């Protein structure tokens, strides 16, 4: 049974890793055709022109939250990232390493709490910091890279005021479970197969 399960999981993991490799040219193309604007002087591009202002406002609220609760992380991400791109469709958020562009999916931005969107930006900015330091996102170090980025995300989450975001402790516990686990075929399978505890269930904030 485990052999059958592994055979089903590895193609999914391969597709996910292929998506990472294709992200740079796709992000470049999407960026030039997207609706480009700014949030606090930071470039934010939205692929869906019809929802550009709505989505850019959501990203702006996330950036403002980072600036408010963790000014140091905000200053670092302004240095580490060249911009944020909201792409259409569903899937995982990610980073275009070559372009240093944080790629958020429209589905995740619209269905997530502002705190979770902010946490995703912090996570991808940490990836950009590693890439700029000469540490590639390669098979031998993927889990260590992800652990570093999850810890940055957790450091941000722990500073969130509980009276505004009552789910913080559960979210932190959820993020801690991924350290040393993501990425793996079974983790990819679980992430794609069912909603994560911190997205649809969270109240809009």
Residue 116's alpha-carbon distances to 105, 155, 175, in angstroms, are: 13, 13, 11
- Token couple for 198: 């911190």
Backbone angles phi, psi at 199, to 5 degrees: -105, -85
Q: In the chain, where are the structural domains located? A: 2-193
Full-model pTM: 0.81
**Mind listing the pLDDT tens digit for each residue in 113-153?**
999 999 999 999 999 999 999 987 777 788 899 999 999 99
Concatenating the DSSP letter of every residue in 48-68 gives -GGGHHHHHHHHHHHHHHHHH
Per residue in 17-58, pLDDT (tens digit) is: 545 544 556 667 788 788 999 998 999 999 999 999 999 999
Q: Report the Cα 54 to chain-centroid distance in Å.
A: 19
Is residue 192 pLDDT above 70, yes or no?
A: no
Q: What's the CA gap between 51 and 30, in Å, rounded?
A: 15
């Amino acid at each position: 049974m485990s052999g059958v399960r592994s055979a089903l999981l590895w193609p999914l993991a391969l597709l996910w890793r292929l998506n990472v490799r294709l992200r740079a040219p796709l992000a470049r193309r999407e960026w030039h055709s997207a609706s480009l604007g700014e949030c606090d002087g930071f470039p934010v591009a939205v692929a869906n022109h019809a929802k550009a202002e709505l989505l850019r406002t959501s990203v702006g609220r996330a950036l403002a939250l980072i600036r408010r609760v963790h000014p140091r992380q905000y200053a670092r991400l302004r240095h580490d990232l060249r911009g944020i791109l909201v792409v259409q469709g569903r899937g995982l958020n990610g980073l275009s390493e070559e372009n240093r562009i944080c790629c958020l999916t429209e589905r995740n931005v619209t269905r997530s709490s502002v705190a979770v969107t902010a946490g995703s930006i912090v996570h991808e900015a940490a990836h950009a910091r590693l890439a700029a330091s000469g540490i590639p996102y390669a098979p031998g170090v993927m889990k260590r890279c992800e652990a570093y980025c999850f810890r940055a995300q957790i450091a941000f989450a722990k500073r969130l005021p509980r009276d505004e975001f009552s789910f913080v402790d559960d979210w932190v516990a959820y993020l801690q479970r991924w350290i040393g686990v993501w990425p793996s075929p079974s983790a990819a399978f679980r992430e794609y197969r069912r909603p994560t505890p911190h997205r649809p269930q969270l109240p809009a904030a």
